[in-house]
Structure 1
Amino acid sequence: MDYMNEYEKTFKEIKRGDVVEGTVIQVNDEGAILNIGYKADAFVPKNELTYDDEELPSDVVKVGDKIEVEILRLENEDGNVLASKKRVDSSKIWDELKNDYEEQNAVKGKIYKTVKGGVLGSVKGFSCFIPASHLDLKHVDNLNDYIGKTIDLKIIEIDEQKKRIVGSRRNYLKDMIEKKKAETLKNLQVGQVVKGVVKSLTEYGAFVDIGGIDGLLRINEISWGRIKHPSDVLSIGDELEVYILNIDRENEKIALSLKKIIPNPWDSADRKYHVGDIKTGKVVGITQFGVFVELEPGIDGLIHKTHLNEKGDLKEGDIVNVEVLNVDLDKKRIRLKIK
Structure 2
Amino acid sequence: MSCRPITIFAMTDGLHVAVSAARSGFMSDERSETPEAMEFVGNAGQGEGAEPSAVQVGSDGVDQGTGALSSGSEPQQTQGSHAEDTEKAEAAPASSEQEKEDIGNDVDYTQAIPSFSAGDMVKGTVVHIDRDGVLVDVGTKSEGIVPPREMGSPEIDGKPVEVGDKIDVYVIGTDEQDGNLILSKKRADFEKAWQRVIDAKETGRILTAMVTDRVKGGLVVDLGIRGFIPASHVGSGKVRNLDRYVGQSLPLKVIEVDKDRRKVVLSHRIAVEEERERQRQATLQSLAEGQVRTGIVRRITDYGAFIDLGGVDGLLHISEMSWTRVDHPSKVVKQGERIHVMVLKVDPEANRISLGLRQILPDPWNEVPKKYHVGDIVKGTISRIVPFGAFVQLEEGIEGIIPNSELSYRRVNKPESVVKVGEEVEVKVIDISPEERRMTLSKRQAEPIPEPERPKEREHGRQSRRDPDRITIGDVLDEDDRAALTSRSRRGTKAKAEAEAEAAADAEERELMYEQDEE
For normalisation by structure 2, the TM-score amounts to: 0.49
The answer to whether the aligner puts 1:321 opposite 2:423 as a matched pair is no
Amino acid at match of 1:322: V
Shift in alpha-carbon separation, 1:320–1:153, aligned structure 2, 3 A: same
Tell me, in whole angstroms, the C-alpha distance in 2 between the residues paired with 1:19 and 1:244.
Answer: 58
1:266-281 matches, cutoff 5 A: 266-281=365-380
1:100 equivalent in structure 2: 200
2:263 equivalent in structure 1: 164
- Residue number among 291, 303, 316 corresponding to 2:389 in the alignment: 291
**Stretch of structure 1 that moved more, 192-201 or 221-230:** 192-201
Output one character per residue of 1:169-205: Cα deviation in whole Å (capped at 9) or x when no partner. Answer: 4444444444444444443332123344433321111
User: Residue 237 of structure 1: CA displacement?
Assistant: 4.4
2:243 equivalent in structure 1: 142
Contact residue 22 and residue 37 of structure 1 kept, 8 A: no
Question: What secondary structure, in the 3-state scheme, does the structure 2 residue paired with 1:275 have?
Answer: coil
**Stretch of structure 1 that moved more, 84-93 or 153-162:** 84-93
Shift in alpha-carbon separation, 1:198–1:22, aligned structure 2, 3 A: closer
Shift in alpha-carbon separation, 1:203–1:152, aligned structure 2, 3 A: closer
**Stretch of structure 1 that moved more, 213-222 or 107-116:** 107-116
User: Residue 228 of structure 1: CA displacement?
Assistant: 2.9
User: Residue 116 of structure 1: CA displacement?
Assistant: 3.5
Question: What secondary structure, in the 3-state scheme, does the structure 2 residue paired with 1:309 have?
Answer: coil
Question: What secondary structure, in the 3-state scheme, does the structure 2 residue paired with 1:310 have?
Answer: coil
Shift in alpha-carbon separation, 1:114–1:208, aligned structure 2, 3 A: closer
Tell me, in whole angstroms, the C-alpha distance in 2 between the residues paired with 1:26 and 1:47.
Answer: 18
The higher relative CO (CA closer than 8 Å, separation ≥ 6) is in 1
Contact residue 253 and residue 271 of structure 2 kept, 8 A: yes
Tell me, in whole angstroms, the C-alpha distance in 2 between the residues paired with 1:235 and 1:66.
Answer: 50
Tell me, in whole angstroms, the C-alpha distance in 2 between the residues paired with 1:18 and 1:286.
Answer: 85
1:225 equivalent in structure 2: 324
Contact residue 293 and residue 342 of structure 2 kept, 8 A: yes
Shift in alpha-carbon separation, 1:295–1:90, aligned structure 2, 3 A: closer
Contact residue 132 and residue 140 of structure 1 kept, 8 A: no
**Stretch of structure 1 that moved more, 276-285 or 302-311:** 302-311
User: Residue 69 of structure 1: CA displacement?
Assistant: 5.2
Tell me, in whole angstroms, the C-alpha distance in 1 between the residues paired with 2:325 and 2:191.
Answer: 68
1:243 equivalent in structure 2: 342
Output one character per residue of 1:224-246: Cα deviation in whole Å (capped at 9) or x when no partner. Answer: 22233223444334454322212
Tell me, in whole angstroms, the C-alpha distance in 2 between the residues paired with 1:55 and 1:69.
Answer: 16
Identity of paired residues, percent?
28
Aligned length: 321
Tell me, in whole angstroms, the C-alpha distance in 2 between the residues paired with 1:252 and 1:207.
Answer: 13
Shift in alpha-carbon separation, 1:101–1:250, aligned structure 2, 3 A: farther
Output one character per residue of 1:81-123: Cα deviation in whole Å (capped at 9) or x when no partner. Answer: 6566766776665444222112222334455555433444442
Tell me, in whole angstroms, the C-alpha distance in 2 between the residues paired with 1:314 and 1:183.
Answer: 53
Tell me, in whole angstroms, the C-alpha distance in 1 between the residues paired with 2:140 and 2:203.
Answer: 40
Shift in alpha-carbon separation, 1:279–1:139, aligned structure 2, 3 A: same
User: Which structure 2 segments of 5+ residues have no match?
Assistant: 1-107, 448-519
Tell me, in whole angstroms, the C-alpha distance in 2 between the residues paired with 1:261 and 1:189.
Answer: 16
Contact residue 114 and residue 143 of structure 1 kept, 8 A: no
2:293 equivalent in structure 1: 194
Question: What secondary structure, in the 3-state scheme, does the structure 1 residue paired with 2:288 have?
Answer: coil
1:336 equivalent in structure 2: 441
Contact residue 301 and residue 336 of structure 1 kept, 8 A: yes
Amino acid at match of 1:256: L
2:161 equivalent in structure 1: 59
Contact residue 201 and residue 230 of structure 1 kept, 8 A: yes
User: Which protein is richer in strand relative to its size?
Assistant: 1
The answer to whether the aligner puts 1:207 opposite 2:306 as a matched pair is yes
2:217 equivalent in structure 1: 117
**Stretch of structure 1 that moved more, 233-242 or 153-162:** 233-242
Output one character per residue of 1:279-315: Cα deviation in whole Å (capped at 9) or x when no partner. Answer: 334263433xx42433443543342527632372431
User: Which structure 1 segments of 5+ residues have no match?
Assistant: 1-6
The answer to whether the aligner puts 1:305 opposite 2:405 as a matched pair is yes
Tell me, in whole angstroms, the C-alpha distance in 1 between the residues paired with 2:167 and 2:266.
Answer: 33
Please give the root-mean-square deviation of Cα atoms over the aligned residues, in Å: 4.5
1:126 equivalent in structure 2: 225
Tell me, in whole angstroms, the C-alpha distance in 2 between the residues paired with 1:275 and 1:25.
Answer: 87
Tell me, in whole angstroms, the C-alpha distance in 2 between the residues paired with 1:256 and 1:181.
Answer: 16
1:8-47 matches, cutoff 5 A: 19=120, 27-29=128-130, 30-32=133-135, 45=147, 47=149
Output one character per residue of 1:51-70: Cα deviation in whole Å (capped at 9) or x when no partner. Answer: x33249x939969x897855
Tell me, in whole angstroms, the C-alpha distance in 1 between the residues paired with 2:338 and 2:137.
Answer: 61
User: Residue 218 of structure 1: CA displacement?
Assistant: 0.6
Shift in alpha-carbon separation, 1:329–1:102, aligned structure 2, 3 A: same
**Stretch of structure 1 that moved more, 215-224 or 298-307:** 298-307
Question: What secondary structure, in the 3-state scheme, does the structure 2 residue paired with 1:102 have?
Answer: helix
Output one character per residue of 1:142-179: Cα deviation in whole Å (capped at 9) or x when no partner. Answer: 37943xx7655332211143242123344444444444
Shift in alpha-carbon separation, 1:294–1:91, aligned structure 2, 3 A: same
Tell me, in whole angstroms, the C-alpha distance in 1 between the residues paired with 2:435 and 2:167.
Answer: 85
For normalisation by structure 1, the TM-score amounts to: 0.70
1:254 equivalent in structure 2: 353
Tell me, in whole angstroms, the C-alpha distance in 1 between the residues paired with 2:121 and 2:364.
Answer: 82
Contact residue 136 and residue 170 of structure 1 kept, 8 A: yes
Contact residue 11 and residue 37 of structure 1 kept, 8 A: no
